[in-house]
Amino acid sequence: MKTFLFVQSASPHSGLLAKEGLDAILMGSAFCSVSVLLQGDALFQIHKDQNSELTQTKPVANSFKALKEYGVQNVYCSEQDLSDRGLSQEDLVISVQSLNSVECKSLMIQFDIIIGF
Amino acid sequence: MKMSIAVLGSPYASQSAHTALNFTKAALIAGHDVIRVFFYHEAAYVGNGFNTPPQDEFALTQQWSDFAIEHDLELIVCVASALRRGILDKTEAKRYDKQGNNMAAGFQIGGLGQLIDAGLSSDRLVTFSA
């Protein structure tokens, strides 16, 4: 079975891309082995204490908590992206595997299919 | 090679769907099979048959329609992306009690599962991002 890596790059409240990307991740997890890489401002998608009621949107972070139940075990990010944004694991709603730049590159080649949102 | 194409960008705010069209044409000329083109996110607007650009401008939706019909290509617009952006075929318009429908010829409503299936059943899934 082919393996998928979904790369999320959008910030959580800059449009629908974060949500529509997440919908694709959830759909993908029903069919095959899925991993997720949160790149750049997409890390804010899993930031704690977001109040999406204020923007009348659905909370994206909550859906990430459900990923495990959908069989998505591996969520990755780069160490650099975390530190650039002043974030640490304690600020996030799920635990992510942070990779250095060499590990990030070798992550990409492990998958059959990469879809970027 | 079996290929599928995913298009994410808005027709008039990005180059995505235009480049995807050129790429898909080139892929067919080079002898590849294009199994499916999947329009997702803002690219759902490409399927709007009411897009009516001035006659001296490139008519993106029309070009995709003509190309798909000529080559019997499968153009799928994700149902969730399409409905929230007001792109409806006859069936959806009836289901949601809307006055008209605007899905362009050659495009079909489909589900996200078809994006995943496109990845599974092709040698390459090429994404034209937002």
ipTM over 0.95: no
**% of chain B with per-residue pLDDT over 70:** 100
Q: Say if pTM beats, i.e. exceeds, 0.90.
A: yes
Closest in A16, A113, A117 to B119, CB measured: A113
The partner residue sitting opposite A20, judged by closest CB among B41, B117, B119, is B41
Mean pLDDT value across residues A51-55? 87
pLDDT digits (tens, 9 = 90+) for A62-98: 899 999 999 998 999 999 999 999 999 999 999 999 9
A15 and A8 Cβ atoms separated by less than 8 Å: no
**Residue A53: pLDDT above 90?**
no
pLDDT digits 0-9 by tens, B39-59: 999 999 999 999 999 999 999
**Contact A32/B116, CB-based, under 8 Å?**
yes
A74-112: string of b/e by CB count within 10 Å (b at 16+)? Answer: ebbbbeebbeeeebeeeebbbebebbeeeebeebeeebe
Q: B127, A115: Cβ pair inside 8 Å?
A: yes
B93 touches chain A (CB under 8 A): no
